[in-house]
């Protein structure tokens, strides 16, 4: 038979755990959310094994801000609109149970096209400069490519990656897309390794404002897992110390 003190102690533990869960859920829903990079679609900006902090309140709140995306209301409440060049976590219209991360390239009303790998926004080529050779090993086998520094309309500067032998692919020669009101056009920084808004028959297409979760702001941890998890002696050498607390641009 449990004594009174033990019962009271168990009750306090349950109450503490309950409020801890409420606070954690509140932070996750309203303030910040961690996000893991599982693929190479945003190389060289983001690498597989990066852990990010996503700002949940910057764009305000939609049903996708909350766990399980409850259908409680439509649209967004509060916040400001995304800017061109923001790196954003969102739920793609064709795959609402998954989080994707891409860069905002087209705003509502913009005309977006890619011709021979060159990005055009509203009919104007986006300036870019050669940033040198880059080897992408995010898919296992290393692929030699070339990085370029791209300057979007409005002045946002970031790097993109092109891989060889792909200029004839659809991703590098698209029709002109006119972004509908309330929607956004997303692209990965690894231009030849990203399923994004260029593929209208895929899960992304045009992304409604309601589907945005928030901008990715900082890398808080990064690890290059080339060895099995149990080989703990490799851990210190696999952590990318230079990417810790690295801002995302």
| CA 19/CA 79 separation, integer angstroms | 27
- Please state the φ and ψ torsions of residue 38, each to the nearest 5 degrees: -100, -10
Q: Closest Cα to residue 150, out of 172, 132, 126? A: 126
Classify burial at 187, counting beta carbons within 10 Å of its beta carbon; exposed 0-12, middle 13-18, buried 19 or more.
Answer: buried
Tell how far CA 235 is from the center of its chain: 25
Residue 15 annotated in active site? no
CB atoms within 10 A of CB 153: 15
Q: Is 41 a catalytic residue?
A: yes
Residues 56, 62, 102, 138: which is the catalytic one?
Answer: 102
Q: Give the torsion through C-alpha atoms of 113, 185, 45, 30, to 10 deg.
A: 170
Q: Which two tokens stand for residue 62?
A: 């939609």
* Angle at CA of residue 230, ends 225 and 233, nearest 5°: 75
Contact 31, 57 (CB under 8 A): yes
H-run or E-run covering 6: helix 4-26
Whole-angstrom CA distances from 132 to 44, 45, 146, 194 are: 12, 15, 6, 21
Contact status, residue 185 vs residue 110, Cβ threshold 8 Å: yes
Q: Is the dihedral of CA 35, 40, 46, 51 positive or negative?
A: positive
Catalytic residue ranges: 41, 102
């Amino acid at each position: 038979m449990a004594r009174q003190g033990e019962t009271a102690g168990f009750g306090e533990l349950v109450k503490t755990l309950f409020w801890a869960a409420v606070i954690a859920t509140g932070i996750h829903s309203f303030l910040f959310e961690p996000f893991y990079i599982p693929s190479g679609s945003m190389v060289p900006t983001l690498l597989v094994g990066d852990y990010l902090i996503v700002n949940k309140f910057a764009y305000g709140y939609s049903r996708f801000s909350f766990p399980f995306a409850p259908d409680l209301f439509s649209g967004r409440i509060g916040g400001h609109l995304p800017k061109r060049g923001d790196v954003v976590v969102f739920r793609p219209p064709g795959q609402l149970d998954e989080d994707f991360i891409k860069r905002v390239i087209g705003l509502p009303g913009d005309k977006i096209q890619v011709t021979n790998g060159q990005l055009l926004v509203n009919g104007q080529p986006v300036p870019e400069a050669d940033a040198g050779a880059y080897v992408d090993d995010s898919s296992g086998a290393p692929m030699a490519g070339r990085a370029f520094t791209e300057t979007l309309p409005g002045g946002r500067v970031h790097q993109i990656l092109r891989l060889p032998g792909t200029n004839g692919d659809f991703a590098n020669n698209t029709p002109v897309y006119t972004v509908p009101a309330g929607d956004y056009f997303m692209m990965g920084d690894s231009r030849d390794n990203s399923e994004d808004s260029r593929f209208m028959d895929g899960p992304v297409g045009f992304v409604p404002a309601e589907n945005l979760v928030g901008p990715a702001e900082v890398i808080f941890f990064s690890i290059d897992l080339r060895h099995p998890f149990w080989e703990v002696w490799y851990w210190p050498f696999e952590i990318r110390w230079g990417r810790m607390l690295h801002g995302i641009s």
